[in-house]
Structure 1
Amino acid sequence: MPITLEQLLAEEAELQFDRLDHDEVMGLGLALLDKARREKLPVVLEVTLGELTVLHCALPGSRPDNADWIRRKKNTVNRFWHSSLYMGRYYASKGTSLTDKPHIDPTEFVDHGGSFPLLLRGLGCVGTVTVSGLAQEEDHALVVGVLRERLAHRRGS
């Protein structure tokens, strides 16, 4: 059963940080990289803080096209402050797509899953966590899983 809009919004409400600094964002990126390497996933991943790319890595089996998917997914999150999967599901529920809109350039934006906003509670989107190389739902699940693990670790310490 596909993930619903309500579930995607609930993830965004759950996966928010109370504080963030560069080292914590780097730690998040390294945790994502470690998981992708352990599972031998053919992905490109990127973690940003504002306009700064904190970590960008292409793992074996990924392709140059994945980097362009990263860029377009990330642009979507930065513009709308929702996960790229949410944006795709939102427009699909209306029988259209994000890139059908006249003000959205499909060479700059895409509504496929794999990018998630780095959310600071009370402020909003301060960065992105993005993966490309798997099916869009799997890209999304990888990012959400690592975010969930990092937040649970922080709350437990």
Structure 2
Amino acid sequence: MSGPLEQLLEEEEALQFDHLSHEDALALGLRLLERARRDRLPVVVDVTLAGRCVLQCALPGSRPDNHDWVRRKRNTVNRFWHSSYYMGRYYASKGTSLADKPYLDPAEYADHGGGFPLLLRGTGCIGSITVSGLPQEEDHALVVGVLREWLAGQTRRDT
């Protein structure tokens, strides 16, 4: 049986794209935004592709700090090519955190759940999809749930 870290890595392996255009990334972000609006979640949603902001929206109840959390989670994803939740759990398993690393400024990086890499199969990380405003496990679960739905829909359309 695999442990929590292995399960998070398996999640990243499963949630990869065969192709992802700017329009696809926008549609994915809108799907995430629709879910958050439907559930009245007080979050900031962000989708970045190739270093460009495709979508960012603050929903009612979110706070200005959520934008900074999004930025720091996005930086973590872009640096490590892993979800920000994985990075937090990885360092916690070692009894430390990103904030303890002398070469990483905690004002620039966050190892809390909610940031997920947009991984292009055979290429690597080409962007990120990020949520902030809920407890970190819920931020992560929201992003992963929407990615699973999206990719399942893509698979049905491709067959």
Shift of 1:67: 0.2
TM-score when normalising by structure 2: 0.96
Question: Does the residue aligned with 1:56 lie in a helix, a strand or coil?
Answer: strand
**RMSD over equivalenced CA pairs, Å:** 0.7
Equivalent pairs: percent with the same residue?
Answer: 70
Distance in 2 separating the partners of 1:83 and 1:61: 25
> Could you tell me which residue of structure 1 aligns to residue 69 of structure 2?
69
Question: Where does structure 2 lack aligned partners over 5 or more consecutive residues?
Answer: none
Distance in 2 separating the partners of 1:30 and 1:153: 15
> Could you tell me which residue of structure 2 aligns to residue 127 of structure 1?
127
Question: Are 1:78 and 2:48 matched, yes or no?
Answer: no
Deviations 1:34-56 (A, max 9, x none): 00000000000100101110000
Distance in 1 separating the partners of 2:41 and 2:7: 25
Question: Are 1:105 and 2:109 matched, yes or no?
Answer: no
State the one-letter code of the partner of 2:104: I
Q: How does 1:80-99 map to 2 (within 5 A)?
A: 80-99=80-99
Q: How does 1:1-157 map to 2 (within 5 A)?
A: 4-157=4-157
Shift of 1:98: 1.1
Deviations 1:1-37 (A, max 9, x none): xx81011000000000001101100010000000000
Distance in 2 separating the partners of 1:117 and 1:85: 11
Deviations 1:52-110 (A, max 9, x none): 10000000000000000000000000000000000000000000001101100000001
Question: Where does structure 1 lack aligned partners over 5 or more consecutive residues?
Answer: none
The runs of at least 4 aligned residues of structure 1 exceeding 2 Å deviation read none
Distance in 2 separating the partners of 1:130 and 1:20: 16
